[in-house]
Structure 1
Amino acid sequence: MFVILAAGVLWGTVGPAEILADSPAGPVALGGARILSGGLVLAVIVLVRDPGAFGALPRTAWPAMLAASAATATFQGTFLTSAARTGAAVATAVTFGIAPASTGLCERIVLGTRLSRGWLAGTACAIAGCAFISLPQGGGPARADFLGIACGVVAGGCFGVYTVSAKRLIDGGVNMLAAVPVTLLLGGAALAPWTLADLKELAEPRSLGLVAWLGPVTVALAYWLYVTGLRHLAAATVGTLSLAEPLVATALGIGILHESLSLPIAVGALLLLGGLILVSVSWPASGRRVLLKGSPS
């Protein structure tokens, strides 16, 4: 559980870091540079530790890996575009308000897992918190627009696809230390046209500093923590625990970016925290995750 929360904390720094850096590069280019650099860091680690790990990946793993790659690439483009159009707080709230529901539904459809009462209660509470955080604030007009919100919704859906794809790889005994960098590099390759188009902007000091944080830390380290946590928890529970990200993003916005703590944000933060607690505690046997007949064990 704690490694998932740690990943959420690192991901929660992405929006504030993007605002602080004020990079001239476009959001899709930044997303491509982010996962390419993070994937390269992980790939180097794998090659040093086990040079034959990539060649040992089974052919049966490729459908899930390709799904994870597509989800990763789409997430980067849509989430950072949403942040650019609506602001980091709203984009994060929308994306990770959708993420628990999309993860639970994907797990139910793909893995045949029955959703627990704890997940349902915690997710409802956390989504309500995200809704409060994303409410327009009194200090000025809302920055949210239809396209920005739509991109956030798509990003939240991609989060669910990635989580369940990774869970399927883990349940299949695939070496995730090798699979994760492959999915990141393939996703980065899909975004290469946008990344290459903004190479000049990415080479500027503000962009380089931002990518140096976004790639090795919020991708390489955070993704590894995330898939490690997936070994021990249901995908739906992990999806809800990821709501630590908007909580962290809100806290950083107040503490570092000096955003005001309005009543809706305060209520939303408390609801998010309550949702995280609800999915983190142990539940009676009747509320535990139960696999449907014929589903994976």
Structure 2
Amino acid sequence: MEGNLRWVALTAAAPVAWGANYYVTREFLPPGTPLYGAALRALPAGLVLLGLCRQRPSGAWWWRSAVLGLLNVSVFFVLVYVASQLLPTSVASTVMAMSPLAMMLIAWVLVSERPGVAHLAGAGVGLGGVCLMLLTGAGGASVPGVLASVAAMCVSSFGYILAKRWNDTGTDVLASTAWQLTAGGLFLLPAAAVVEGPPPALSASALLAFGYVTLVATALAFVAWFTGLRHLPAGTVGLVGLLNPVTGVLLGTVIAGEMLTVQQLCGVALVLAGVVLGRSGRARRRGSTTLRLAARTNSGPPRRRRAVVPLHAVRNRADRAVGGEHSS
């Protein structure tokens, strides 16, 4: 139980960092350059992790890294950049909170992880909280921005479960994350040069913002996220991901000056309740399973203990048997 809580705490660092990333992207990064923005986020992070692990892909991981890099990095980062520029921080982050249900359904198909009642109940409660946070009449919620955020949620949910299926125990999490980020950045860089022309000029604040986006919201966050996917069920990881909209709403309110209503506060409380509900239900189910196994093991008739015959007694019996044969 304590070990699982440790993995949950580590995984939670990712959605918290991603929730802050919406605000940083909207306020400090240059608008109108989503391809360069995604490339400058992915490629440096991948190269940093690649320098730390010093491992190259082998075998099937050459094409797996390319596929996962395209889904989890190239397409996902561009869509998140567009959504962050078009939507308020609170709205952009809360749309992604629909990912727990998507991850549960995809995991059921790809990795045969059937969602439990507690996971579904937690996702339902959390989704209700998301609806409360979204239905507040926040201004600036453009349709293209919402569509970009929904597409990012769908692409990332599929890519994360695919990574969970392919990440066998023999592949280092740090290495596989580095390969995905590097591959995704390499896909983005030439596309950005063709579509968007020369790289945008970056101010000092934009460089610092890219430092946070690259090192914290990408390198550290993705290592934590994929580590959680390896050690926890997809339903649990999806519920932990609900901390993304909570962070986005709080930052949008405290720093960006977006108004936080009573309705939004209730939504935040429901999201947190959904995370706790999913975790506690899983713990109770595990505990009851352990008790059933223990009861099944201790039940049944007691085993008869075999008598231990000393060695000298065995020899005496053998001598008497041999003597009886000769006398007859």
TM-score range, shorter-chain basis?
0.7 to 0.9
Corresponding residue for residue 65 of structure 2: 65
Q: Secondary structure at the match of 1:113?
A: coil
* 1:28 CA drift (Å): 3.3
Paired residues for 1:251-290 under 5 Å = 251-281=250-280, 282-285=283-286
- SS of residue in 2 equivalent to 1:13: helix
1:19 match: 26
* 8 A Cα contact 2:22 2:89, kept in partner: yes
Identity %: 25
Equivalences for 1:1-297 in 2 at 5 Å?
1-24=8-31, 26-47=33-54, 53-54=55-56, 57-62=57-62, 64-72=64-72, 73-95=74-96, 97-137=97-137, 142-193=139-190, 195-196=192-193, 197=196, 199-281=198-280, 282-285=283-286
Structure 2: runs of 5+ lacking an equivalent: 1-7, 290-328
Q: How many Å separate the matches in 1 of 2:64 and 2:214?
A: 23
Deviating more after overlay: 237-246 vs 252-261: 252-261
Paired residues in the alignment total: 277
Superposition RMSD in Å = 2.2
In structure 1, the gaps of 5 or more residues are 48-52, 289-297
C-alpha distance in structure 2 between counterparts of 1:277 and 1:198, whole Å: 47
1:10 and 1:287 map into 2 onto residues whose CA distance is: 35
User: Closer, same or farther in 2 for the Cα pair 1:199/1:181, shift >3 Å?
Assistant: farther
3-state SS, counterpart of residue 83 of structure 2: helix
Q: Specify the SS of the correspondent of 2:60.
A: helix
- Report the TM-score, using the length of structure 1 for normalisation: 0.85
Residue 247 (structure 1) shift: 0.6
Please say if residues 67 and 161 of structure 1, whose CA atoms lie closer than 8 Å, have aligned partners that are also in contact: no
Aligned pair in 2 of structure 1 residues 24, 83: CA closer, same or farther (>3 Å)?
Answer: closer
How far apart, CA to CA, are the structure 2 residues paired with 1:37 and 1:160?
24
Distance 1:27 1:177 in 2: 26
Residue type at the aligned position of 2:81: L
Structure 1 pair 107–202 and aligned structure 2 pair: CA distance change class (3 A): farther
Cα 1:203–1:145, aligned 2, differ >3 Å: closer, same or farther?
Answer: closer
SS of the residue corresponding to residue 232 of structure 2 reads coil
> How far apart, CA to CA, are the structure 2 residues paired with 1:126 and 1:269?
9
Greater relative contact order structure (CA < 8 Å, 6+ sep)? 1
One-letter amino acid of the counterpart of residue 168, structure 2: D
Normalising to structure 2: TM-score of the pair? 0.78
